[in-house]
A and B are shown apart, each in its own frame.
Chain A
Amino acid sequence: MARRLPVFDATRGQPVEIRIADTAVRAYANESIAAAALASGTRVMSRSLKYHRPRTFFCLEGHCSGCLVRLDGVPNLRACQSPCTPGAEAHGQNAFPSAEVDLLGAVDFLFSRGLDHHTLMTGSSVLNKLANKVVRQLSGLGKLPATQATSLPAVGNREIDVCVIGGGPAGLAAATACAKAGKTVVLVDDQLQAGGSLRADPATGRETANARVADAVKAGVELLERSTAIGYFPEDDPDPAWLHGAVLGTSTSATTPSAITTTGEDVSTVISTEHLARGVLAVATPDQLVRVHARAYIWATGGYPVNLPFADNDRPGVIAARAVGRLLVDHGILGGEKICIVEVPQLATETERLAAALTAAGAEVWRVALDDTHGTRGRSWVSQVQTSHGRIDCDLVAVAAIPSPASEGPRQQGCRVVLDPDAGGFRVVVDDAGKTSAPFVFACGDVTGYVGPSRAAAHGALVGASVIAAIGGA
């Protein structure tokens, strides 16, 4: 069972009461719904789409689909990114009658060897029509919201020098460096609180994260919290007057053609991608959409926690090692009493640090290599890991895999990426200065290949400096 550690009580915030699956639960203001659910013993939050296997959070960073719940009448919200507001009501989805006991879970056993929907019931046209009807009833996630939106928020705009996406150690360092050099900087972070992996690493933790965020804000960085860069639209150029000013700001550069300094000329037709990044980055904040036009972009989106391939790796209770670290150092919650870490050799240092911190907090910890891991056992929560050296009884499995680079934003901006198994996925290709293959688009930290929490800040500062040099001016 997970439990709250008393040494962290001072940082939890006010106690609040919320309801999860119609049960009253004691929570705290600084906790997410997912953290409060785990600490109160709620184990299954929803069911998977096809086989209705039990699901709960895996990444705790808002990037997997494990913790989607219906919250206060709104479907498909991420419990790990929803704060515990007094009276909040969360319900599981995609299950009948409840997430914990779901009759549709029978599908998993009926199709224990897999289900190819391309050939399912295609032999007879009558059967096929019937099957389609049933499938359409069952598919889709969640039910429509209880109420309609009453007002549509206005769209915001930011016309700035530098936009940094991702508020982890790399992004914070890059943004702070640019702001200190006098640049106007917007930092977009999608978590409940900025800090990224600093909030999951026992070597740093909540205090370090808070201090670095405060430094960035003090340096003049505008922080958009709980905000996601949702897309890049190359055809949507900024106001020509701003473009004009933005390019004139770099007029000391020898590459600026004299033609554009002629007043009155429509600069949007003469400025090429040699001079600044084009298009608009759409950022969804909790209240509105913000269109960001920046002279340069820095992607510091890090990597997503991913699972490792072993049997029943999706059983609730199998969660990312970084989520276990985040629960411990950011939420003050020990995720289990007997924790089995399944790991890859590349992360030995980080895993050692996590194992030591969990042991110090009072847990029993085992470490198993992926190659020795055969599968998990249990019902709707893990109770055992099967290994080459026997079975390990546990109540939590932490998966330490190399985070997969969060490169889909850079890909939209035209950055070259390459599949690199040692980087956990498609990493953004950068040069020594952090330049990508797209003009005025830079990247730093884990999105360029695994750097790790210890070295990410230095990489961010280095790339910040090269951005300052690239856009010129004081």
Chain B
Amino acid sequence: MAKKIVLCRCEDVTLSDLEHCVDRGYLDIEEVKRYTGFGTGPCQGKECLGPMATQLARLTNKPPEKIPPFTSRPPLAPTPIKLLANAPDAHRFADDPDPKRPGTEPGMGVGKR
């Protein structure tokens, strides 16, 4: 193994990757996420978000309380998709007409099911 300080083990993001990212001017946590890919692996940031944000505060000389977390999105853990297949509205896209809200415009997913 070549010598590396790994901060995100899912996506193999190292401390030097973060420094490189900050050097290129990506200083916001969402930018860092998109540039390095940290937090986008199977753990979705459980292991790396805290340490990455702490290092980002140090590298950018920002007070920690000024660093927000990246957006949290479902599912929060690896979930077999069959569990979701029978959920109400599982086959409805966000821009489809909502039967509970008359008057909503048809979206791209209409008529495919």
**Taking beta carbons and an 8 Å cutoff, which residues of A are in contact with B?**
48-51, 53-55, 58-59, 62-66, 68, 76, 78, 108-109, 111-114, 116, 118, 141, 149, 152-155, 190, 228-233, 236, 282, 284, 288-289, 291, 304-307, 309-315, 375, 379, 404-409, 411-412, 417-421, 424-426
Contact = CB atoms under 8 A, between A and B. Distances in A.
Contact of A412 (B67, B74, B85, B86): B74
A379 B2 CA distance: 10
Contacts of A51: 2, 4, 12
A59 B47 contact: yes
Nearest to B21: A116
Contacts of A59: 47
Contacts of A108: 1-2, 4
A76 B1 contact: no
Contact of B74 (A65, A282, A426): A282
Contact of B42 (A68, A232, A284): A68
A289 B16 contact: no
B53 to A, nearest CB: 5
B61 interface: no
A113 B78 contact: no
29 contacts: A48-B12, A50-B11, A55-B9, A63-B46, A64-B46, A65-B10, A65-B47, A112-B3, A114-B17, A152-B82, A155-B88, A228-B75, A229-B76, A291-B87, A304-B50, A306-B48, A306-B51, A307-B51, A309-B15, A312-B1, A312-B4, A313-B6, A404-B46, A404-B51, A409-B72, A419-B53, A419-B54, A425-B50, A426-B49
B49 to A, nearest CB: 6
Given A284-B77, A306-B50, 5 more contacts: A63-B47, A65-B42, A236-B89, A288-B83, A311-B4
Contact of B49 (A64, A68, A425): A425
Contacts of A55: 9
A49 B11 contact: yes
B1 to A, nearest CB: 6
Nearest to A402: B50
A149 B82 CA distance: 7
Nearest to B41: A65
Given A63-B47, A66-B9, A108-B1, A114 B75 contact: no
A152 B74 CA distance: 20
Interface in B7-45: 7, 9-12, 14-17, 20, 35, 41-45
Contacts of B85: 152
Nearest to A112: B2
B69 interface: yes
A328 B85 CA distance: 40
A233 B6 CA distance: 34
Contacts of A190: 77
A51 B78 CA distance: 23
A234 B62 CA distance: 33
Given A63-B47, A419-B54, A231 B75 contact: yes
Nearest to B42: A65
Given A65-B43, A76-B42, A312-B4, A284 B79 contact: yes
B9 A307 contact: yes
A192 B7 CA distance: 27
Given A49-B12, A284-B79, A419-B64, A408 B72 contact: yes
A230 B79 contact: yes
Contact of A312 (B3, B44, B54, B80): B3
